[in-house]
Amino acid sequence: MIWLTVLSYAALGLFVFWLITLLLGGDNARRRPPLQGPAAGRGMGHCPADPPRAGRFDEAVKVIVQAANDQRGMHAKQAVDLLRLRGHSEAAELVELRLRYAQGHLSARQAVHFLTAEGAWRASAGSTSQESNA
């Protein structure tokens, strides 16, 4: 019975400590280095688009990258419409399928990454099948 009271006081003490730490900014606020500028945290881990790696979709990737650089926050649906206007129907259909799979949550830059990966995969699969046929 006494150990139950001791445990409840210990739990209450931990809760109060956590609440005070939360209100004062916590330990993470002191450990985290400050951002140098507003864009310092943006794009971490992002590698720029590499159209030559996209294989047969390199022109489509260039079109989307150029439009996304001009228009910030471009959605993949806008990229699909742009690809159809420019005559890249196969790439537009692939991005549209990926857009449906992502339930509408896909940016134009994510579509570029998808097309680059898909083009590289198709190029490697095509070269492997050509080597096996030789």
Q: What are 65-117's pLDDT values in tens digits? A: 999 888 888 999 999 999 999 999 999 999 999 999 888 889 999 999 888 88
pLDDT score for 31: 55
- Find tokens 């004062």 and name the residue: 24
- Three-state secondary-structure class, residue 39: coil
Average pLDDT over the chain, rounded to whole? Answer: 76
Residues whose CB is less than 8 angstroms from the CB of residue 94 and which lie 6 or more positions away in sequence, other chains included: 57, 114, 115, 118
User: In this predicted model, which residue has the larger pLDDT, 105 or 33?
Assistant: 105
Which own/partner contact pairs does 101-106 have at CB distance under 8 Å and 24+ positions apart? 102/76, 104/77, 106/75, 106/76
Structure tokens at 40: 């310092």
Q: Does residue 62 carry a pLDDT above 80?
A: yes
Between CA 59 and CA 51 the distance in angstroms is 7
pLDDT score for 134: 52
| CA 47 centroid distance within chain | 11
Q: Does residue 14 carry a pLDDT above 70?
A: yes
Q: Does residue 34 carry a pLDDT above 80?
A: no
Instruction: End-to-end CA distance of the chain: give it in Å, rounded.
Output: 81
User: In this predicted model, which residue has the larger pLDDT, 129 or 21?
Assistant: 21
pLDDT score for 102: 86
User: In this predicted model, which residue has the larger pLDDT, 108 or 120?
Assistant: 108
Average the pLDDT over 109-131 and give the result.
79
- Three-state secondary-structure class, residue 87: coil
Average the pLDDT over 26-45 and give the result.
47
